[in-house]
Structure 1
Amino acid sequence: MPQKLTVAVAQSRTQATLAATLAALTLTTRHAASRGAHLVLFPEAYLGGYPRTCDFGAKVGARLPHGRDQFLQYFRDAVDLGDTPAGAGDEWVEKRLPLPKNKEYRGDGTREYLEKVARETGVFLVVGVIEKAGGSLYCSAVYVDPREGGLGKRRKVMPTASERLIWAQGSPSSLKAVTTELNGVRLTIGAAICWENYMPLLRQSLYSQNVNLYLAPTADSRDTWLPLMRTVAGEGRTFVLSANQCVRRKELPDWITGQQTEAEGSGDEYVSRGGSCIVGPLGEVLREPIWEVSTDDVADAADENDPAIAAALSIAEIDLEDCERGRLDIDVAGSYSRNDAFKLTVDGLDLNPPPQ
């Protein structure tokens, strides 16, 4: 019997405040639910923001005072999900960490807000966030189930290039896949954030857990991204969803653009064109990349069937049995792995498929 599910990628951009971004997320999720989506993926750093074009006043061997002020503002804009700097894992998921005095939850309430949206819409949310814990920031992805709430959260283990200045490294143990049931279909979900998808052993750690839904929130809007997503899907015999923000320079925060000159580009210039896409387990493109449109351009439309919404919210019905069909000839974590000759271990992570 087909194991069908409707999935969506939201090409959304961070708004001026966290409250505004959460409101936009709510509208987009409601639109997706009205079109039958069971799961929606939002881009990397959607909550908290991806500080594109910002150098934080840093050069090798020197930091300028304005860069520290920029980091202060970025830190303030980040979300507090109530986790610890080391990452509490199941303790965080199951809400067993100590509560602050006179509070019913840890953090700033963002986790609870996402859980409420998922519960009210019936949509499984996967959201890219900039998360603060202690004095550091982490680029994270949080899984929110409509019935169970927060199922898990993972932090980017290897920030790319200048990201290393502002984001700490996450624990590899957070690569743990999560399982759930949506529309009667059993899912094993994992995520690799942006250029983590260029890390072959990291990809293998997800394949080894037998993920059938592989999520790739990203900030990469280059033409080379789609071939990578097709490789991942065909390599892992898994469905791949990738979501990126679409942003013009004038839509960046004032604390970034205020330090830039006119020579750095016009306000209408795209600093990220998007490119969100959906790929099937044989590497076939189910939904082509979408460019230069954001869900936030149309999220206030009165008609939920407005064709502009369809352009910014990419939706596909998928059959999870196609993953097993694809493993007739290749299963890189099983029959094709030569695990008698090659071994992979990840500190703190059980690579066996999670129990269903």
Structure 2
Amino acid sequence: MSASVVRIAAIQATPVILDAEATVSKALHLLGEAAGEGVKLAVFPETFIPLYPSGAWAHAAVLFGGFDQMWSRLWANSVDVPGPHIDLFIKACAEHGIYCVLGVNERESARPGSLYNTMVLLGPEGLLWKHRKLMPTMHERLFHGVGYGQDLNVIETPIGRVGGLICWENRMPLARYEIYRQGVQIWAAPTADDDDGWISTMSHIAIESGAFVVSAPQYIPRSAFPDDFPVQLPDDGKALGRGGAAIFEPVQGRAIAGPLYDQEGIVTADVDLGRCMTAKRLFDVVGHYSREDVLRAPLGGT
């Protein structure tokens, strides 16, 4: 492969539900497996550690009673950033020469209370970036605090300029535009969305950003939940997240790997970052196609 070609991956896996230590151990194994296949950037799903609070069961948390045990166990198995769990991933990145985007439920042990839906970029150098989801979606607001826009960053790494957004943040035009302005080349999109419309969103962002997009969804079969899971689950037997991991190229928005459904797996693609420049020659949303001058002043402004 040429110097501009990088192997990237979406890791579609099931967490060991509400068990941070076991989920971290599984994720580290998968990271090593990806590195063994020559992957230089691996993206894990949204809030992979220790579980995504799915609307299939989490909506009941709007009631004042009944979720105390769930909340306590979720907090106990969440991740401090920085913290000891993150240190294990940094060590693994250094050992394998790989970069990793990881979705976690983030806590602040020094000030116990709120949780955040957070994505981190880790590499051999350490913790490179932390971003908290700007606006938890619907039922997620029962679990996660809101993030803040100051952490919308693109990070220069030896394998390219890495940025991205979490799940339905990818529907937020202004958030996307901030990432576009920073020249992203590899767009990480940890998610729990397994609908067909999500694939269309990822394809559009690849074209609009001129970047390769890595979509890493949840795969959560009903059988993954422990017998002592503290919340009633739907009894239809269906998976609570069917996956759909895929990688998209920037010129036509085509899926060049995946989507993968209904199983765990690592979806990989060798991407030529030179294609980002080809895409930008055709359509540069923050350059020759930007026209920021047509934007009006904010509501109430002058």
TM-score with structure 1 setting the length: 0.78
Question: Is the Cα contact below 8 Å between 1:207 and 1:333 reproduced in 2?
Answer: yes
The question of 1:164 aligning with 2:141 is answered yes
**For the Cα contact (< 8 Å) 1:5–1:38, is it kept in 2?**
yes
Instruction: Say whether the 8 Å CA contact 2:16–2:50 is kept in structure 1.
Output: no
CA separation of 1:224/1:344 partners in 2, compared to 1, >3 Å: closer, same or farther? farther
Residue from 58, 61, 77 that aligns with 2:61: 58
Q: Which amino acid aligns with 1:73?
A: R
1:56 to partner: Cα distance? 6.6
Residue matched to 2:37: 35
Q: Output aligned runs, 1:1-356, within 5 Å.
A: 3-16=4-17, 17-52=19-54, 53-55=56-58, 57-59=60-62, 62-64=63-65, 66-82=66-82, 107=83, 109-133=84-108, 134=111, 135-146=113-124, 148-182=125-159, 187-254=160-227, 256=229, 258-260=230-232, 264-266=235-237, 269-282=238-251, 283-294=253-264, 312-342=265-295
Change (3 A) 1:58 1:149: closer
**Shift in Å, 1:51:** 2.3
How far did 1:190 drift? 0.9
Cα distance in structure 1, aligned partners of 2:180 and 2:48:
26
* 1:149-202, Cα deviation, whole Å (9 max, x unpaired): 1111111001100001110001111111111103xxxx2111210000111111
Partners of 2:224 and 2:168 lie apart in 1 by: 24
The amino acid across from 1:264 in the alignment is D
CA contact (8 A) 1:48 1:131 kept: no
Query: Which digits, 9 at most, give the CA deviation of each residue in 1:115-152, with x for residues without a partner?
Result: 11101111101101110023110011111112x11111
Partner SS for 1:14: coil
Q: Displacement of 1:55 after TM fit?
A: 2.9
**Unmatched segments (≥5 aa) in structure 2:** none
Q: Work out the CA distance in 1 between the residues paired with 2:59 and 2:294.
A: 46
Deviation, 1:271, is 1.2
- Largest Rg, 1 or 2: 1
AA aligned to 1:198 is R
Q: Partners in 2 of 1:44 and 1:110 — Cα distance?
A: 16
Partners of 1:2 and 1:29 lie apart in 2 by 22
Q: Secondary structure at the match of 1:54?
A: helix
Q: Percent identity?
A: 33
8 A contact 1:73–1:255 mirrored in 2: no
- Structure 1 residues 137 and 45: alpha-carbon distance in aligned structure 2, compared to 1, 3 A threshold: same
Tell me how far apart the structure 1 counterparts of residues 210 and 3 of structure 2 sit (CA, whole Å).
17
Distance in 1 (alpha carbons) for counterparts of 2:231 and 2:20: 22
Superposed CA RMSD: 1.9
Q: Deviation of residue 259 (structure 1)?
A: 3.5
Contact 1:56–1:71, Cα closer than 8 Å, also in 2 = no
Structure 1 contact 213–238 (Cα < 8 Å) conserved: yes
Aligned length: 291
1:293 deviates by: 0.9
